[in-house]
Amino acid sequence: MHRGIVIIGGGFSGTMTAVHLARLGVRGITLLERREHPARGVAYGTEHACHLLNVPAAKMSALPDEPEHFLQWLTAHEPAYAQPGAFVPRPFYARYLQSLLEACAGAVVTLRDEAIAITPDGRGLTVETRGGKALPATRVVLALGNFPPGNPPISTPGFYSSRRYVQWAWAPHTFDGLQAGDDVLLVGSGLTTVDKALVLLQREHKGAIHVLSRRGLVPQRHEPADALPPVLEPASAPRTALGLLKAVRNAATGRNWRAVIDSLRPVTQQLWQNLPVDEKRRFMKRLRHFWDVHRHRVAPQVAEQVQAAIDAGKISVHVGKLHGFHEDDSGVDALIDTGQGRMKLHVQRVINCTGPESNYRNLHHPLVASLLEQGLARTDALAMGLDTDERGALIGSDGQPSKVLYTLGPALKGKLWETTAVPELRTQARDLALRLASM
Ligand SMILES: Cc1cc2nc3c(=O)[nH]c(=O)nc-3n(C[C@H](O)[C@H](O)[C@H](O)COP(=O)(O)OP(=O)(O)OC[C@H]3O[C@@H](n4cnc5c(N)ncnc54)[C@H](O)[C@@H]3O)c2cc1C
């Protein structure tokens, strides 16, 4: 088999790296994706039109050098949504990415399989797949995206093997067998919870929808806000988590807080990199949930729909910490510590909607485990992702940047923090392709 570049993971990051490589004239690219369809990933793999992009169309071009590109695609294919401020259904975005990939068909071969190991083979690398293939590669790009969440710690962990429990809200079987009158508990109150609640509302689900929030925080909604220049200058900004919190609060006094948060986007990576490791850890423990709900907002129409369902009593939001579960034939009692005591919710299904596992030491991912074991990769200081040089080359256990293994996207969270959404990923994909094409 021809030896070329193998990209593992066909979400936005992997797809766009392949597209840029092809546009730069590189041939023999293999895009390996374990899910049925490439060019979707978790975010755009939804079939539900009620799942909207949480970023306005004007900011969703996949090509950093052509900011109007997505709007132009909408004009040609979905003209009703071709407005800069529109929040477009995510399945449309999948079609957009698919069209970019299809235009590169001569250069990119897509393969449905899961990479489970990578080994050096003298002339480069061999990627081994679950399906039994051995793909020879000159270079490999890991575009693995986000991982399923871990199980919240509870007193009855045996419940996690129950058929009533769904560990990963995006698994295809999440709602299988759910009866219209079944009561559901969504654990967590972030964007995944919003998405799952929307599906239940769309199905006109008759049972109760309970949402359990650890801190009572829910994603804020988008509202118009005039753009501001960054309210913090990385060189002079505080270098502690608390100092940053105070500085942002001060900057927001008398201003639109959305504009203040958005103004930090171009400098967030720099602010993060200036924090000492202990302060990054403090941010993760104490502040990240507050940051997330203000930074990752939902479309106004989504916020309205959820609020209407709360007002109508279809969705109930509870604040507390999971204690454990007791299951019987009729369902499961979820025991929740509220701070004032223990409450009990009787439901038929529990869906874990907490955020992706962000500790690489807890992952159950054979490929990552194999790379770490062989010393071909190491985690960053916080184990939130993989350690790399400035341009995405993996750093191995010898401390040296690899000449053959690269990554981008959420794997760089520990290094950059702000590395999960299209505005950052499109630039990373282009820059990595330029690096690989110039070798
Ligand atoms: C529900 C949701 C909504 C979002 N909405 C927006 C939005 O509106 N705007 C925005 O900018 N961002 C949004 N995001 C952020 C989104 O994560 C990024 O925009 C982007 O899609 C991330 O792409 P990725 O390729 O890095 O990761 P992913 O989309 O997670 O793709 C990684 C892919 O790698 C595959 N994979 C992993 N391991 C292997 C293996 N060993 N072998 C083969 N394949 C493998 C996975 O199956 C997956 O398809 C959203 C995220 C989510 C979860």
Q: Render pLDDT for 286-341 as a digit per residue (tens, 0 to 9).
A: 999 999 999 999 999 999 999 999 999 999 999 999 999 999 999 999 999 999 99
pLDDT given for residue 1 in this prediction: 62
Pairing relationship of beta strands 125-129 and 134-142 according to DSSP bridges: antiparallel
CA distances from 222 to 128, 245, 275 (A): 44, 21, 28
- Predicted confidence (pLDDT) per residue in 426-435, tens digit: 999 999 999 9
Rg of the chain in Å (alpha carbons)? 22
Which of 144, 367, 408, 416 has the most ligand 1 atoms within 8 A of CB, as the residue to mutate?
144
Residue 384 sits at the vertex; the CA angle it makes with 380 and 390, to the nearest 5 degrees, is: 45
- Predicted confidence (pLDDT) per residue in 137-179, tens digit: 999 999 999 999 999 999 999 999 999 999 999 998 999 999 9
Q: Where are the domains of the chain?
A: 4-147+357-437, 157-220+297-352, 241-295
Of all protein residues, the one whose alpha carbon is nearest to atom 4 of ligand 1 is 43
Q: Which residues line ligand 1 (CB under 6 A)?
A: 8-14, 32-35, 41-43, 53-55, 114-115, 143-146, 191, 195, 367, 409-410, 420-422, 425
- In percent, how much of the chain has pLDDT > 70? 100
* Residue 361 pLDDT exceeds 90: no
Residue 414: HSE in the Cβ half-sphere, 13 Å Cα cutoff: 22
Q: Is the pTM here over 0.75, yes or no?
A: yes
Mean pLDDT of the residues in the chain: 96
Do 4-147+357-437 and 157-220+297-352 fold alike per CATH?
A: yes
* Residue 26 pLDDT exceeds 90: yes
CATH of the structural domain 157-220+297-352, one choice from 3.40.50.1820, 3.40.50.2000, 3.50.50.60, 3.40.50.10490:
3.50.50.60
What does the pLDDT average to over 360-370? 93
Query: Which DSSP category does 108 fall into?
Result: E
Distance 10 CA to ligand 1 centre (A): 8
Residue 152 sits at the vertex; the CA angle it makes with 151 and 155, to the nearest 5 degrees, is: 110
- Predicted confidence (pLDDT) per residue in 370-420, tens digit: 999 999 999 999 999 999 999 999 999 999 999 999 999 999 999 999 999
pLDDT given for residue 134 in this prediction: 96
Buried b (16+ CB within 10 A) or exposed e, 203-228: eebebbbbbbbeeeebbbbbeeeeeb
pLDDT band at 358 (very low <50, low <70, confident <90, very high): confident
* Residue 87 pLDDT exceeds 90: yes
Superfamily (CATH) of domain 4-147+357-437 = FAD/NAD(P)-binding domain (3.50.50.60)
Of all protein residues, the one whose alpha carbon is nearest to atom 13 of ligand 1 is 421
> Sign of the C-alpha dihedral, residues 58, 61, 66, 70?
negative
Which of 6, 12, 413 has the most ligand 1 atoms within 8 A of CB, as the residue to mutate?
12
